[in-house]
Structure 1
Amino acid sequence: MTTAPWAVLFDMDGVLIDNTEFHINAWIQFAQLRNFPLTRDLYIEHINGRVSADAMAYVLQRPIPADELAALTEEKESIYRELYQPHLQPAPGLMSFLDALKAQGVRTAVGTSAPASNVSFTLDGLNLRPYFDAVVDASMVRRGKPDPEIYLKAAERVGVEPARCIVFEDAFAGIEAGLRAGMHVVALATTHMHEELADTGAALIIDDFTALTVNQLRQLID
């Protein structure tokens, strides 16, 4: 077993927290206000895992200027935060898993398509920020998932080569981003069912973190 450093990179929504249905409901409410017939299936196909610029362009059916994008994004995210606030909690088994990673000196980062306001809402609301060596959000990249930029930047910030990084993702776009970055991917079946994730290229598919050990994870790269 090699002693070279390795890292675990986490998506946020649908991974650190099981909040997918709240995001879906928030997007549907937002779209209804603009007479766009968004459904759960359309959300999963066109929005889940993607940065706000791409998602908003799909719902409004036009490119969104930067100044307008900021206001629209915050409007949608305020709907989401109001819906999810009473339910905010870490994914099952997450805290113990993060403690185990920290105890073994594994480097960690968050790579999320979420805006900074939601990152603060989640990481600070649950006191998760101290567990991560780096956080990369949508404002820090030019190209959203499935482009690998967000995970490559996260790997660079924790000082670990991509081949020794393991990405935790729930969305097809995020899984593709991790694989395109040359990383190993663990898929969480929070947004998609196991059978839907079977052909994504993920090395492992799990329901949550409760039965996962650091040594089991290490085997993916050693």
Structure 2
Amino acid sequence: MLKAIIFDVDGVLVDSMPFQAEAWVKTFKEVGINITREDIYELEGSNNKRLIELIFEKAGKEPEPWHLEQLPEKKREALEFDRIKPYEGIMNCLEVLKRHFKLALVSGSHNDTVNKIVNKYFSNYFDVIITGSDLERGKPNPDPYLKALEKLDLTKNECIVIENAPLGITAAKRAGLYCVAVASMLEPEKIEHADLVLENHAALFKYLKSLIEK
């Protein structure tokens, strides 16, 4: 029996990925690495440490300790936070879902960024919140979703995950969870390893509504 729904944040709850990606593009440019927004979209869900390591690896370089310490802060400074908004309809959807299920949030973003988003828009919705700052191993490792299960005190068969990024889907599947993906930023074929792929948020809301009616 379904008892909880676990949501990713960026690209699922809030339309933030263009701004998150642009902040990373500017940050890496400062250290001589040129990337595109698409590079970040494909790594979405990684915690900061893993994302930096992967971008440096792709550029044929190795990050120094100061990169891992200072680049996340530079990225947060570059992020145009006030331009981040929830997807239209998502707050009403969560309001309805909360009457029927426990709700959890699992993000690879830094604790500061996640808390700002939650405090601004979602302060009363989530029973459990896991951020990229909470665990050493982030997505695509299963640890964030396993931690959410532990805090929810539920089994994998009692929860589903809503994701939008390849690494997040992989993390959910490795944790043994049923994963629904919404193609908010990437083409559907890049997230086809999810159990169910939905083409947009309208389709996602229709699916979530169907869970209540079962």
Alignment TM-score, normalising by the size of structure 2: 0.88
Is contact 2:181-2:194 (8 Å) kept? no
Select 2:31's aligned residue among 34, 38, 42.
Answer: 34
The 1-side partners of 2:67 and 2:26 are apart by 19
Is contact 1:186-1:206 (8 Å) kept? no
Q: Equivalent residue for 1:125? A: 120
Within 5 A, what are the aligned runs for 1:133-152? 133-152=127-146
Q: How many Å apart are 1:185 and its aligned residue? A: 0.9
Is contact 1:49-1:174 (8 Å) kept? yes
Q: Equivalent residue for 1:92? A: 88
1:205 aligns with 2:201: no
The 1-side partners of 2:90 and 2:7 are apart by 11
1:185 aligns with 2:179: yes
Q: How many Å apart are 1:163 and its aligned residue? A: 1.9
Alignment TM-score, normalising by the size of structure 1: 0.85
Comparing 33-42 with 168-177, greater Cα deviation is found at 33-42
1:69 aligns with 2:71: no
The letter for the 1-side match of 2:160 is I
Is contact 1:26-1:77 (8 Å) kept? yes
Give runs of ≥4 in structure 1 deviating > 4 Å: none
Q: How many Å apart are 1:191 and its aligned residue? A: 1.5
5+ residue gaps, structure 2, are none
The letter for the 1-side match of 2:116 is F
The letter for the 2-side match of 1:100 is V
Q: Equivalent residue for 1:166? A: 160
- 1:118-137 CA distance string (max 9 Å, x none): 012211122x0310001011
Select 2:9's aligned residue among 8, 12, 17.
Answer: 12
Q: How many Å apart are 1:40 and its aligned residue? A: 2.8
- Taking a change above 3 Å as real, the CA distance of residues 26 and 187 of structure 1, as seen in their structure-2 partners, is same
Is contact 1:175-1:202 (8 Å) kept? no
- 1:73-127 CA distance string (max 9 Å, x none): 12112211xx241x232112211111111122x011111111111012211122x
5+ residue gaps, structure 1, are none
The 2-side partners of 1:11 and 1:211 are apart by 15
Q: Percent identity?
A: 28
SS in 1 for 2:15: coil
Q: How many Å apart are 1:214 and its aligned residue? A: 4.1
- Taking a change above 3 Å as real, the CA distance of residues 73 and 129 of structure 1, as seen in their structure-2 partners, is same
Is contact 1:112-1:136 (8 Å) kept? yes
SS in 2 for 1:78: helix
User: RMSD of the alignment, in Å?
Assistant: 2.2
Q: How many Å apart are 1:62 and its aligned residue? A: 2.1
SS in 2 for 1:186: strand
